[in-house]
Structure 1
Amino acid sequence: MSFFPNRALVNGIRKNYQPNLVSLMSLCANNYMLLLKVLADKSALGEVRHFFISDLLSYKVTITEVTPYTSVIDFEQESLHHSLKNIASVVASALHPRMTIRLYHDARMAEVLATQDIRQVKPRYDYPNSQMHQQDEKQQTNQFLNEWLHLCLRLGQVNVELHS
């Protein structure tokens, strides 16, 4: 038995980690539907939506790119970071999570492209690696997005403009 998840022993032969594509695609499809709910009527370049969870926690969703078949949004945690002005920037950055997400409208899927200091999240990483990414980093970041979206939809309050 190995404590390292990258190589399972199958019939006496070590087998490399394989991403579960069905699970990942299902998660990306679920994230797409949740993001449509979060964005609601926002679909134009530069539009922003804020979700206020508490006095110390809010999220900001910004549409940064729009094409006929895709959109790119930035999703970031805000308020907690602003209340921690006196701590080191490295710690403050860790407490200010952010993601860049691409929505594929034709496939009805949403995928995390980048998060924190990872410019492109790969489907799988060798383990161990110098950046200490998990083998299933892509699955985990998309799952984290799913949890953020559920939090915003369950507890978030949004300022809504009323037109007279």
Structure 2
Amino acid sequence: MKKRYVPNLQEIHSLAERNYAAFARLLGATNAKEAAAAESEKLIQVGEALAFSVVRKAEARYTTDLVITQVAPDVAEYLQARFLVRLYHDAKMAEIIDYQGQERLTALHPANLHQVRHQKDEKFQLNRHLAEWLRLCFRQGHVPTQFQFVN
């Protein structure tokens, strides 16, 4: 008998809280809500040939959606990373809600053979990917001085 996957909610929430705090630091504010409201676009240069654009897509009372897109002029657009992150300001959590155009990510996927196959912990893996991306930005990223914020 195959053991049923049960997500570890404490681990998922802890990761989302750490990602939210990291976004606040990355965007240069005391909390992610202030940072997201301050500017609508930020460019983060990582190395010589890799950059990421962070654009505020939508804002509501308790949430902000940020689109993170890899900026690489020599790479085909479909090969560039693109994900949508939702910041939950009331819960102080951040999570990926769309990755490479794949929406409606859930912690559990029904066992339906007619749907696209997903990993049992795919949403957690994507949020761990977000944590790794944030770590990369802190270690190697910088905001170019000539970059102008778009308001």
The interval holding the TM-score normalised by the smaller chain is 0.7 to 0.9
The one-letter code matched in structure 2 to 1:43 is A
Instruction: Name the CA distance, whole Å, in 2 between partners of 1:65 and 1:25.
Output: 23
Q: 2:125 aligns with which of 113, 118, 140?
A: 140
What is the SS of the residue equivalent to 2:16? helix
RCO higher in structure (CA 8 A, sep ≥6): 2
Larger radius of gyration: 1
1:19-34 to structure 2, matched below 5 A, reads 19-34=7-22
Runs of 4+ in 1 over 3 A off after TM superposition: 126-130
The one-letter code matched in structure 2 to 1:19 is P
What is the SS of the residue equivalent to 2:2? strand
Instruction: Name the CA distance, whole Å, in 2 between partners of 1:56 and 1:155.
Output: 12
Instruction: Name the CA distance, whole Å, in 2 between partners of 1:65 and 1:106.
Output: 16
Identity of aligned residues (%): 31
Unaligned runs of 5+ in 2: 30-34, 147-151
What is the SS of the residue equivalent to 2:45? strand
Specify the alignment match of 1:60 in structure 2.
Answer: 53
Specify the alignment match of 2:40 in structure 1.
Answer: 47
Q: 1:77 aligns with which of 58, 70, 74?
A: 70
The one-letter code matched in structure 1 to 2:28 is A
Is 2:96 the partner of 1:96?
no
Cα distance, 1:40–1:55 mapped onto 2, change above 3 Å: same
What is the SS of the residue equivalent to 1:17? coil
Instruction: Name the CA distance, whole Å, in 2 between partners of 1:43 and 1:156.
Output: 18
Residue correspondences, number: 140
TM-score, structure 2 normalization: 0.82
Give the deviation of 1:75 after TM superposition. 1.1
- TM-align CA RMSD: 2.1
Unaligned runs of 5+ in 1: 1-12, 86-91
Q: Is the 8 A contact 1:32 1:110 kept in 2?
A: yes
